[in-house]
Structure 1
Amino acid sequence: MARIAFILLCHKDPEAIISQAERLTAAGDYMSIHFDARAKTEHFRQIRAALKDNPNVTFAKKRIKCGWGEWSLVQASLNAVQSALEAFPRATHFYMLSGDCMAIKSAQYSHDFLDDNDRDFIESFDFFESDWIKTGMKEDRLIYRHYFNERTQPKRYYWAYNLQKKLGMERDVPHDIQVQIGSQWWCLRRRTIEWIVDFTKKRKDVMRFFRTTWIPDETFFQTLVRHLVPEEEIESRTLTFLMFSDYGMPVTFYNDHFDLLVSQDFLFARKISPEARELKARLGALYAAEGVSFKISNEGRSLFKFLSGRGRIGRRFGMRFWESESTLGRERELLIVICKKWHVAKRLLEQIRRATNIPAIEYLFNEESTPLPDLGGIQKTIPKRHRHRRALMRMLFDYFATDRLIICLDPGALDLLQDFCGDRSTTRLLEVDVDFTDDYLVGHAMRIGLAGEQTPQETLQRLLPTIRHDLSFEADRIRDANFDNHTRIRESGKLEENIDAVARFLAISEDKAQEIVGIDYLYSD
Structure 2
Amino acid sequence: MAKIAFILLCHKDPEGIIRQAERLTAVGDCMSIHFDASAPKSEYDRIRKALDGNPNVTFARRRVRCGWGEWSLVQATLHAVEAAVSAFPGATHFYMLSGDCMAIKSAEYAHDFLDSADIDYIESFDFFGSDWIKTGIKEERLIYRHLFNERSNKRLFYGAMELQKRLGWRRKIPADLQVMIGSQWWCLRRRTIEWVLDFTRKRKDVMRFFRTTWIPDETFFQTIVRHVVPDAEIRSRTLTFLMFSDYGMPVTFYNDHYDLLLAQDFLFARKVSPEARELKRRLGVLYASEGTEFRISNEGQRLYRFVTDRGREGRRYAPRFWEAEASLGRERELLIVICKKWHVARRLAGIVRQELDLPVIEYLFDEGKTELPDLGGIQSTIEKRTRHRRALMRMLFDYHKTDRLLVCMDPRNFELLQDFCADRATTRLLEIQCRFCDDYLTGHAKRIGLAGEQAGPEAMARLLPTIRNDLRHESDRIADAGFAHLNRMRETAGPDENAVPLAAFLSIPEDKARAIAAMENLFSD
- Amino acid in the other structure paired with 1:28: G
- Amino acid in the other structure paired with 1:493: A
Indicate the larger mover: 253-262 or 461-470. Answer: 461-470
Partner of 2:501 in structure 1? 501
Is 1:180 the counterpart of 2:180? The answer is: yes
Residue pairs, 1:30-429, within 5 angstroms: 30-429=30-429
Indicate the larger mover: 303-312 or 405-414. Answer: 303-312
C-alpha distance in structure 2 between counterparts of 1:241 and 1:360, whole Å: 45
Deviations 1:98-129 (A, max 9, x none): 00111111111100000002111111111122
C-alpha distance in structure 1 between counterparts of 2:472 and 2:432, whole Å: 13
Whether contact under 8 Å (1:499, 1:517) holds in the other structure is yes
Structure 1 residue 433 displacement after superposition: 1.1
- Amino acid in the other structure paired with 1:295: R
C-alpha distance in structure 2 between counterparts of 1:315 and 1:154, whole Å: 32
C-alpha distance in structure 1 between counterparts of 2:379 and 2:206, whole Å: 48
C-alpha distance in structure 2 between counterparts of 1:499 and 1:172, whole Å: 74
Q: Find the residue that maps to 1:484 and give its secondary structure.
A: coil
Partner of 1:467 in structure 2? 467
Structure 1 residue 170 displacement after superposition: 2.0
Q: Find the residue that maps to 1:394 and give its secondary structure.
A: helix
Partner of 1:482 in structure 2? 482
Structure 1 residue 520 displacement after superposition: 3.2
Structure 1 residue 145 displacement after superposition: 1.2
Indicate the larger mover: 387-396 or 340-349. Answer: 387-396
Structure 1 residue 58 displacement after superposition: 1.0
- Amino acid in the other structure paired with 2:24: L
Q: Find the residue that maps to 2:286 and give its secondary structure.
A: helix
- Amino acid in the other structure paired with 1:231: D
Structure 1 residue 167 displacement after superposition: 2.2
Whether contact under 8 Å (1:259, 1:456) holds in the other structure is no
Structure 1 residue 510 displacement after superposition: 2.2
Structure 1 residue 404 displacement after superposition: 1.1
Whether contact under 8 Å (1:355, 1:515) holds in the other structure is no
Whether contact under 8 Å (1:351, 1:515) holds in the other structure is no
Structure 1 residue 249 displacement after superposition: 1.3
Structure 1 residue 148 displacement after superposition: 0.6
Mark the runs of 5 or more structure 2 residues left unpaired by the alignment.
none
C-alpha distance in structure 2 between counterparts of 1:141 and 1:318, whole Å: 35
Q: Find the residue that maps to 1:474 and give its secondary structure.
A: helix
Indicate the larger mover: 200-209 or 304-313. Answer: 304-313
Q: Find the residue that maps to 2:132 and give its secondary structure.
A: coil
Whether contact under 8 Å (1:487, 1:505) holds in the other structure is yes
Structure 1 residue 494 displacement after superposition: 3.7
Indicate the larger mover: 327-336 or 43-52. Answer: 327-336
Structure 1 residue 411 displacement after superposition: 0.5
Indicate the larger mover: 165-174 or 202-211. Answer: 165-174
Q: Find the residue that maps to 2:7 and give its secondary structure.
A: strand
Partner of 1:443 in structure 2? 443
Q: Find the residue that maps to 2:290 and give its secondary structure.
A: coil
C-alpha distance in structure 1 between counterparts of 2:230 and 2:421, whole Å: 57
Structure 1 residue 23 displacement after superposition: 1.2
Q: Find the residue that maps to 2:24 and give its secondary structure.
A: helix
Structure 1 residue 307 displacement after superposition: 2.2
C-alpha distance in structure 1 between counterparts of 2:383 and 2:308, whole Å: 23
- Amino acid in the other structure paired with 1:267: L
Whether contact under 8 Å (1:355, 1:512) holds in the other structure is no
Deviations 1:198-234 (A, max 9, x none): 1111222221111111111111111112222211211
C-alpha distance in structure 2 between counterparts of 1:242 and 1:174, whole Å: 32
**Number of matched pairs:** 525
Indicate the larger mover: 322-331 or 366-375. Answer: 322-331
- Amino acid in the other structure paired with 1:246: D
Structure 1 residue 83 displacement after superposition: 1.0
Q: Find the residue that maps to 1:406 and give its secondary structure.
A: strand
C-alpha distance in structure 1 between counterparts of 2:166 and 2:420, whole Å: 50
Indicate the larger mover: 127-136 or 351-360. Answer: 127-136
C-alpha distance in structure 2 between counterparts of 1:317 and 1:411, whole Å: 15
Deviations 1:354-383 (A, max 9, x none): 211111011111011111122222212111
C-alpha distance in structure 2 between counterparts of 1:318 and 1:312, whole Å: 12
Judged with a 3 Å threshold, the aligned counterparts in structure 2 of structure 1 residues 429 and 360 are, in CA distance, closer, same or farther, namely same
Deviations 1:8-62 (A, max 9, x none): 0001111111111111111111111101000010111111111112111111111
Q: Find the residue that maps to 2:368 and give its secondary structure.
A: coil
Deviations 1:426-450 (A, max 9, x none): 2111111111122222222222222
Indicate the larger mover: 462-471 or 39-48. Answer: 462-471
Deviations 1:132-173 (A, max 9, x none): 111111111112111011111222212212222222222222
Structure 1 residue 324 displacement after superposition: 2.0
The TM-score with structure 1 as length reference comes to 0.97
Indicate the larger mover: 167-176 or 403-412. Answer: 167-176
Q: Find the residue that maps to 2:31 and give its secondary structure.
A: strand
Indicate the larger mover: 152-161 or 51-60. Answer: 152-161
Structure 1 residue 454 displacement after superposition: 2.8
Structure 1 residue 499 displacement after superposition: 0.8
Q: Find the residue that maps to 1:54 and give its secondary structure.
A: coil
Q: Find the residue that maps to 1:37 and give its secondary structure.
A: coil
C-alpha distance in structure 2 between counterparts of 1:158 and 1:268, whole Å: 36
Q: Find the residue that maps to 1:398 and give its secondary structure.
A: helix
Q: Find the residue that maps to 2:246 and give its secondary structure.
A: coil
Structure 1 residue 253 displacement after superposition: 1.1
- Amino acid in the other structure paired with 1:369: K
Structure 1 residue 179 displacement after superposition: 1.4
Q: Find the residue that maps to 1:521 and give its secondary structure.
A: coil
C-alpha distance in structure 2 between counterparts of 1:389 and 1:310, whole Å: 23
- Amino acid in the other structure paired with 2:370: T
C-alpha distance in structure 1 between counterparts of 2:517 and 2:139, whole Å: 60
Partner of 1:11 in structure 2? 11
C-alpha distance in structure 1 between counterparts of 2:61 and 2:114, whole Å: 28
Detail structure 1 runs of 4+ shifted over 3 Å in the superposition: none
Mark the runs of 5 or more structure 1 residues left unpaired by the alignment.
none
Whether contact under 8 Å (1:103, 1:268) holds in the other structure is yes
- Amino acid in the other structure paired with 1:155: R
- Amino acid in the other structure paired with 1:92: T
C-alpha distance in structure 2 between counterparts of 1:105 and 1:352, whole Å: 54
> CA RMSD of the aligned region, Å?
1.4
Structure 1 residue 463 displacement after superposition: 2.0
C-alpha distance in structure 2 between counterparts of 1:254 and 1:181, whole Å: 29
Structure 1 residue 314 displacement after superposition: 2.0
Whether contact under 8 Å (1:338, 1:432) holds in the other structure is yes
